[in-house]
């Protein structure tokens, strides 16, 4: 006949509870979404990109387009802290979006200047950021943190929305 065994000590009971808790803790941590990194002060972003219309130049490899308040097309559009930089990758197949604010300076009026070689440079501190791969990492200069990245979501063929 089966009888329920009592633990020999509190240590055995504790070991059993930890043994059961550990895998469930790992599963819950592993399934969590990664939080977006904030390298500049938060400001809402909501920009529509239309590769079939006004933003057709972003279809070209290593192209870029800057969006600021003066580029507002609708009342719903928001441009982050200093403005939004949208770049295409080397094949012209993917779009990446960043805030124009240099994370080293963290001043709204200090905006990185994009180049057609997949980089952007801060005019104040001189940091060169690589925008080509979607990470905005500093290549050289005093900045240690990358550009603030934003999500680019396809909403229709050739139409994207940049959001945070």
Distance of alpha carbon 121 from alpha carbon 79, whole angstroms = 19
* Per-residue model confidence as pLDDT tens digits over 27-43: 555 444 444 578 899 99
Across the range 3-19, mean pLDDT stands at 58
How many other β-carbons are positioned within 10 Å of the β-carbon of residue 71? 14
Q: Going along 82-136, which residue ranges are E strands?
A: 84-88, 95-99, 113-114, 119-121, 128-130
pLDDT for 94 equals 95
pLDDT at 26 over 60: no
Among 98, 88, 84, 86, CA closest to 60: 88
pLDDT at 21 over 80: no
pLDDT for 38 equals 85
User: Is residue 49 within 8 Å of residue 58, measured between CB atoms?
Assistant: yes
pLDDT for 108 equals 94
Distance of alpha carbon 55 from alpha carbon 14, whole angstroms = 61
Q: In the Cβ-directed half-sphere of 30, how many Cα atoms lie within 13 Å?
A: 6
pLDDT for 22 equals 53
pLDDT for 135 equals 95
Q: Please, what are the domains in the chain?
A: 45-163 (2.102.10.10)
Q: How confident is the prediction for the chain on average, in pLDDT?
A: 86
Across the range 11-33, mean pLDDT stands at 54
Of residues 4 and 139, more confidently modeled: 139
Q: What percent of the chain has pLDDT over 90?
A: 73
pLDDT at 143 over 60: yes
User: Is residue 128 within 8 Å of residue 140, measured between CB atoms?
Assistant: yes
* Per-residue model confidence as pLDDT tens digits over 87-130: 999 988 999 999 999 999 999 999 999 999 999 999 999 999 99
Residues in the chain: 164
How many other β-carbons are positioned within 10 Å of the β-carbon of residue 107? 13
How many other β-carbons are positioned within 10 Å of the β-carbon of residue 136? 26
């Amino acid at each position: 006949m089966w009888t329920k065994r009592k633990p020999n000590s509190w240590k055995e009971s504790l070991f059993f509870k930890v043994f059961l808790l550990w895998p469930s803790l790992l599963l819950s941590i592993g399934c969590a979404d990664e939080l977006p990194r904030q390298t500049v002060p938060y400001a809402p972003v909501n920009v529509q990109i239309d590769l079939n219309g006004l933003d057709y130049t972003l279809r070209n490899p290593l192209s870029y387009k800057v969006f600021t308040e003066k580029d507002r097309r609708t009342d719903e559009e928001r441009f982050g802290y200093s403005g939004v930089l949208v770049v295409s990758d080397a094949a012209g197949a993917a779009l990446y979006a960043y805030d124009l604010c240099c994370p080293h300076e963290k001043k709204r009026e200090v905006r990185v200047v994009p180049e057609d070689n997949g980089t952007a440079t801060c005019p104040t501190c001189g940091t060169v950021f690589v925008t080509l791969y979607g990470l905005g990492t500093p290549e050289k200069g005093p900045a240690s943190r990358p550009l603030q990245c934003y999500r680019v979501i396809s909403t229709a063929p050739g139409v994207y929305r940049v959001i945070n």
